[in-house]
Amino acid sequence: MAWFDTNLLSTLVFLPLLWAVIGLAVPAKASRFWAAAGALLTFGLSLLVYSRFQTDGAEFQLMESAEWLPSLGISYTLGIDGISLWLIMLTTFLMPIAIIGSFSAIEQRVKEYYFLLLSLETAMLGAFVSLDIFLFYVFWEAMLIPMYFMIGIWGGKERIYATMKFFLYTLVGSLLMLVAIFYLAYMHKQQFGSYSTLITDLYKLQLEGGTFWTAQSLIFLAFAAAFAVKVPLFPLHTWLPDAHVQAPTAGSVILAAILLKMGGYGFMRIAFPMLPMGVAYFQLAFMVLAAIAIVYGAWVAMVQPDIKKLVAYSSVSHMGYVVLGLFALDPISVSGSYYQMLNHGVSTGALFLLVGMIYERRHTREISAFGGITKVMPLFALVFMIVTLSSVALPGTNGFIGEFMILLGSWKANPGLTAIATTGVIFGAVYMLWMFQRVMFGPVTDHHNEELKDLNFRELAIMTPLIAAIFAMGIYPNFFFSKLNPSIDRMITRTMGKTGFKGLSGVARAATLPESHS
Amino acid sequence: MPNLPMINPQLLSMSPEQVQALMPYFLVCGGTIIALLACVLRVLSPKWPVFLLTLATCAVGICSSIGLLHNGTSVTLFNSMMVSDPFASFFNVLFLASAAITAMISFRYLDREKIQHPEYFVLLLFAAFGMMIMTSATDLVMVFIALELMSLSVYALVGFRRTDRRSNEAAMKYFILGSAASAVMLYGAAMLYGATGSMEIHAILQAIRTTPTLMTPLFTLGVWLVVAGFLFKVASVPFHMWMPDVYEGAPAPVTGFMTTGLKAAAFATFVRVFVSLGYGHALTETIQTHFHNILWVIAVLTMALGNFVALTQTNLKRMLGYSSIAHTGYLLVGLIAGSASDQGYAPMVVYLVAYSVMNLGAFIILTVLASRDDGGLNLPDLAGLSRRHPWLAFSMAVFLFSMAGIPPTAGFAAKYMIFSAGVQAGEIPLVVISVLCSAVSVYYYLRVLVYMYMRDPVGSPAASRMSAWSTVALAAMVAMTLQIGIMPARALSAAKKAVTSL
């Protein structure tokens, strides 16, 4: 047990992979149950991690460290703070749901499918717990491989185009980040005498900044290239609708719910605290792009004839809020952004699952093919209603808390852009409710829809935890913020406290930190 | 008229250390000659004895080289014609391993192609022996002789499918262009002799150190001609024209051998000669900058051309040929960075090992999949391979991800080292270009995966059976690709040990 105690995070990260490898020997018929058991076990393990995490403990907890490539300063270092904790929980929480959700949809090459899903979980968890930037990069890139196969093998008609686009977009961004990593490790050698890729070591670097052709700005751009593609931020979002629409349901769920969060996580863990002057220099530009993403994503979503594509564009809009809140760099908006990432994971994940369920029944996702579904599938309609309302940020649901905090916090940084972003809330309600109305209400126009079966037990079983999460996060957010805020505060102090932060409202804001989140 | 050294009979006798240091060379040379003799034994079918002798020769050669590598001593041999040092031993292991694997995968291939002549294995051994000598040579004449021993054997191997026109064309083309390149190199060596009065690279270095005025245009031109010879062998732009045709025409296992052993040998010797001729420490600043700039341009062109042309290829052998050109470009980045970064040339050496492993692995698969006359190696022929041969497809995926530099594979670890050395050396623009080029490369590597995994099989291609030898070789390559990728520290420290003896 001693080994287990000191290697809790490693166990958590590699358990799904180990489970996946053993799963190759399990007969194909049983492999879905095997995978679901593995994902549930991982979730159980993550609850243990949660219980070991202390709110007022050290900055990084459950640390593990081992030498890896010492001559280049690379180590295998894991640890979590509040920022990683909730994303880990989100991952392990959604994974069993995604797996059980694919039980009926995946009929071909079942074994490979679950192998890839579980190995994807290892890569995602690995990225969230890495405290060494090299290790982070390894997991970050390794994540692409299972996703690439999932879209390419089990996807829709245009799957090959979509998966290539997804891979290449993300890869080009990541490779620029790799150059930035080389540079930072080298600067550590220049300033401290030895190579290091430890994230906490790199926080200590003093780099030039302030204008465009300085280390901070350029390195920030390199990191932003990787993170903004992943988020995805307008105008780098074009891979997302293709990938989402073509991916199998579980692929879309994980892509939307967790992979996109890697971008926001990267900004918070790496780009902001390491390169405060870079952030300051590009703050306005990113806020403008985020505002564009919010409004543009909503407008484009409004005219989509395909439900899945509509949800995909709504992701662009929702993730726009995340970026807006992050770059406003106000404690409230940053917490809100983080919360919005969790919300988006739950709500959009649920939406993709629901779209998948109706697609399995009707083999179409065209909005015009539906109408009056409430009458034939009342339970489905109820669940869809709750998720839709959470997505349009109705008070009482999780979406409200996140968007409200983002807009509140961003107002101080830039009222004009925040006002524009707020219109996105209205447009968001318009496209979601309009879609809901066209699909659910009115007479049953298509006779194919008359025979549709309502949700079965399995489908209800996977939707229930999501709905519970929607209300829990909407009604009692403090449960989440209590473990999160100390880490967010540290991150902001690091970003603002470093000399020379001349963001939109300057260093003065740092003074308001202690009174936040009261 | 300087006094020519008389051959002193004492120089011909060897001390026990020297004998020990020469052990791998003796063993491999002896094994080769026995194998050659065994070819003539027409009583029995000579294919098994010669094949097994080849493997045994490689095995003992590898063992004694590893022994020397652990010893870590440098011994000068034959009146400073050769040196047996860890650098040479390290590469000897690589050459012999790649020859052994090539032999293992060729055995059934030769039967299938009906060209089962035992001379094939002997030629392989001679080529490997040439590589060994070349990497340990410290005299330009010795370099030249070893280069020819290696090249002539490979010319014959390239044309081994005698009845196939493409194989003949490839051999002819390679022979003519290769001979021209060797001649250029020899000419360069002659100029260096004219400029400094010696062919021995340390003596040349000594000469220009003591009298920098010897760095005349004649000297520079001589160095450049020697370098051009090497650039031809490693197939960098603008000396790359032979490569795609030769790669496509040569029998698949020979192509694998060329991309690994031959390339590694050329690069290893390149580094030894280049460093010994004073790059990075003894040349005047003007000449140094001049060299640096030209190599910089060559590296960029090589990467760009290799990657962009590979995008349009549909034949796998040809595509890997262009990809090999691209990898030469990355290796040149390592060469440029080597003199100015604290890791030295170690990242480049690791890259050579990683590249050899993954490329040899890919060629094992091509050898297994090839139909008669190396047909059936176009992209559409791979459609649905993951259904027919799941493990072959998986292995190929590992190698392709590795070539594309995606973790957790050897290719990624090696790229990380080489590019981080580049950043240390202050070559940030070069590294950015390399990184973007490798992003381009991902497209054509992934396209193979698209065919293997995401398209349904067309028709019913003949089921290819793998011999046990190939299976073992393939498993070893997959394991090494992942091992170097996940635990790169050991490879790096071994490489460091090797390059410190330069």
Of B417, B439, B454, the CB nearest to A159: B454
A303, part of any domain: yes
DSSP collapsed to 3 states, B39-101: HHCCCCCCHHHHHHHHHHHHHHHHHHHHHHHHHCCCEEECCCCEEECHHHHHHHHHHHHHHHH
* Residue B408 touches partner A, C-beta closer than 8 Å: yes
Q: Look at A233 and B460; give whichever has higher pLDDT.
A: A233
Shortest distance between the Cα of B472 and any Cα of chain A, in A, equals: 21
For A143, nearest residue in chain B (alpha carbons): B407
Here the tokens at position A264 are 């926001």
C-beta atoms of B423 and A183 within 8 A? yes
A221 CB neighbours in chain B (<8 A) are none
* Residue A21 touches partner B, C-beta closer than 8 Å: no
Distances (CA, A) of A350 to A83, A230, A303, A311, A345: 23, 20, 21, 11, 8
Residue B1 has pLDDT above 50, yes or no: no
Here the tokens at position A170 are 């993300």
A50, part of any domain: no
What b/e string do you get for B3-38 counting C-beta neighbours within 10 Å, with b at 16 or more?
eeeeeeeeeeeeeeeeebbbbbbebbbebbebbbeb
Find tokens 């979002």 and name the residue. Answer: A237
Amino acid identity, position A74: I
Q: What pLDDT shows up at residue A517?
A: 44
C-beta atoms of A185 and B420 within 8 A? yes
A269, part of any domain: no
Phi, psi of B76 (to 5 degrees): -85, 135
Here the tokens at position B488 are 């790169």
Shortest distance between the Cα of A446 and any Cα of chain B, in A, equals: 34
Q: How many whole angstroms separate alpha carbon B310 and alpha carbon B316?
A: 10
Residue A322 has pLDDT above 80, yes or no: yes
Q: How many whole angstroms separate alpha carbon A275 and alpha carbon A181?
A: 12
Mean pLDDT over residues A262-270, rounded? 92
* Residue B311 touches partner A, C-beta closer than 8 Å: no
**For chain B, percent of residues with pLDDT exceeding 70:** 94
| ipTM for the complex shown | 0.85
Closest Cα to residue A320, out of A297, A349, A302? A297
Shortest distance between the Cα of B423 and any Cα of chain A, in A, equals: 6
Q: What pLDDT shows up at residue A58?
A: 81
Here the tokens at position B25 are 């060379």
Shortest distance between the Cα of A146 and any Cα of chain B, in A, equals: 12
Containing H/E element for A313? helix A307-328
A190, part of any domain: no
Phi, psi of A357 (to 5 degrees): -65, -40
Residues 6+ apart with CB under 8 A from B390: none
User: Which residue in B441, B446, B486 has the most chain A C-beta atoms within 10 A of its own C-beta, making it the best mutation to test that interface?
Assistant: B446
For A175, nearest residue in chain B (alpha carbons): B435
C-beta atoms of B407 and A186 within 8 A? no
What is the tally of structural domains in chain A?
1
Residue B373 has pLDDT above 80, yes or no: no
DSSP H helices in A64-212: 82-101, 110-129, 133-142, 144-154, 159-192, 199-202
* Residue A146 touches partner B, C-beta closer than 8 Å: no
For A151, nearest residue in chain B (alpha carbons): B454
* Residue A144 touches partner B, C-beta closer than 8 Å: yes
Mean pLDDT over residues A120-146, rounded? 92
Q: What pLDDT shows up at residue B28?
A: 92
Of B401, B438, B489, the CB nearest to A68: B489
Residue B44 has pLDDT above 70, yes or no: no
Mean pLDDT over residues A321-347, rounded? 90
Q: What pLDDT shows up at residue A1?
A: 65
3-state helix, strand, coil in chain B (%, to 5): 75, 5, 20
User: Which residue in B303, B333, B415, B435 has the most chain A C-beta atoms within 10 A of its own C-beta, making it the best mutation to test that interface?
Assistant: B435
Shortest distance between the Cα of B488 and any Cα of chain A, in A, equals: 7
Q: What pLDDT shows up at residue B11?
A: 59
- β-bridge partners, B75: B84
A20, part of any domain: no
Q: Look at B493 and B278; give whichever has higher pLDDT.
A: B493
The model's confidence at residue A509, banded by pLDDT at 50, 70 and 90, is very low
Whole-prediction pTM: 0.89
* Residue A136 touches partner B, C-beta closer than 8 Å: no
* Residue B488 touches partner A, C-beta closer than 8 Å: yes
Q: What pLDDT shows up at residue A518?
A: 37
The pLDDT tens digits of the residues spanning A56-90 come to 878 888 888 888 888 888 899 999 998 999 999 99
Of A142, A149, A186, the CB nearest to B407: A142
Shortest distance between the Cα of A168 and any Cα of chain B, in A, equals: 7
Shortest distance between the Cα of A459 and any Cα of chain B, in A, equals: 29
C-beta atoms of B454 and A179 within 8 A? no
- Mean of per-residue pLDDT scores for chain B: 86
Q: What pLDDT shows up at residue A501?
A: 52
Residue A16 has pLDDT above 90, yes or no: yes
B432 CB neighbours in chain A (<8 A) are 176, 179
Closest Cα to residue A452, out of A381, A358, A346, A316? A358
Crossing angle of helices A159-192 and A239-246, rounded to 10°: 130
C-beta atoms of A176 and B432 within 8 A? yes
C-beta atoms of B412 and A152 within 8 A? no
B399 CB neighbours in chain A (<8 A) are none
The pLDDT tens digits of the residues spanning B63-90 come to 999 888 888 788 888 878 888 888 999 9
Q: How many whole angstroms separate alpha carbon A482 and alpha carbon B124?
A: 69
C-beta atoms of A186 and B420 within 8 A? yes
Residues A121, A122, A127, A130, Cα dihedral to 10°:
150
Residue A108 has pLDDT above 90, yes or no: no
Q: What pLDDT shows up at residue A468?
A: 92
A71 CB neighbours in chain B (<8 A) are 343, 489, 492-493, 496
C-beta atoms of A153 and B432 within 8 A? no
B427 CB neighbours in chain A (<8 A) are none
The pLDDT tens digits of the residues spanning A247-260 come to 888 889 999 889 99
A335, part of any domain: yes
A137 CB neighbours in chain B (<8 A) are 407
What b/e string do you get for A172-201 counting C-beta neighbours within 10 Å, with b at 16 or more?
bbbbbbbbbbbbbbbbbbeeeeebbbbbeb
Crossing angle of helices B140-158 and B119-136, rounded to 10°: 160
Closest Cα to residue B249, out of B315, B341, B179? B315
Distances (CA, A) of A221 to A277, A281, B182, B234: 12, 10, 47, 36
Identify whether the C-beta of residue A465 lies closer than 8 Å to the C-beta of residue A104: no
Identify whether the C-beta of residue A120 lies closer than 8 Å to the C-beta of residue A143: yes
B443 CB neighbours in chain A (<8 A) are 164, 168
* Residue B388 touches partner A, C-beta closer than 8 Å: no
Mean pLDDT over residues A28-36, rounded? 88
* Residue B4 touches partner A, C-beta closer than 8 Å: no
A511, part of any domain: yes
Residues 6+ apart with CB under 8 A from B471: none
* Residue B483 touches partner A, C-beta closer than 8 Å: no
For chain A, positions 66-85, list CB contacts with chain B under 8 A.
67-72
B446 CB neighbours in chain A (<8 A) are 148, 164, 167
A129, part of any domain: no
> What's A506's DSSP letter?
-
Q: How many whole angstroms separate alpha carbon B53 and alpha carbon B125?
A: 10
Say how many C-beta atoms besides its own lie within 10 A of residue B168's C-beta.
16
A141 CB neighbours in chain B (<8 A) are 406-407, 412
C-beta atoms of B442 and A167 within 8 A? yes
**Domain limits at A420?**
285-518
Mean pLDDT over residues A357-371, rounded? 85
Containing H/E element for A25? none
Residue A130 has pLDDT above 80, yes or no: yes
For B446, nearest residue in chain A (alpha carbons): A164
Q: What pLDDT shows up at residue A512?
A: 43
The pLDDT tens digits of the residues spanning B121-167 come to 999 999 999 999 999 998 899 999 999 999 999 999 998 888 888 88
C-beta atoms of B416 and A152 within 8 A? no
Q: What pLDDT shows up at residue A109?
A: 85
Identify whether the C-beta of residue B422 lies closer than 8 Å to the C-beta of residue B351: no
Q: What pLDDT shows up at residue A375?
A: 83
- β-bridge partners, A76: A66
C-beta atoms of B489 and A71 within 8 A? yes
The pLDDT tens digits of the residues spanning B468-483 come to 888 898 999 999 999 8
Q: How many whole angstroms separate alpha carbon B339 and alpha carbon B342?
A: 8
Here the tokens at position B222 are 């001589």
Least confident of A84-88, A438-442, B119-123, B175-179: A438-442
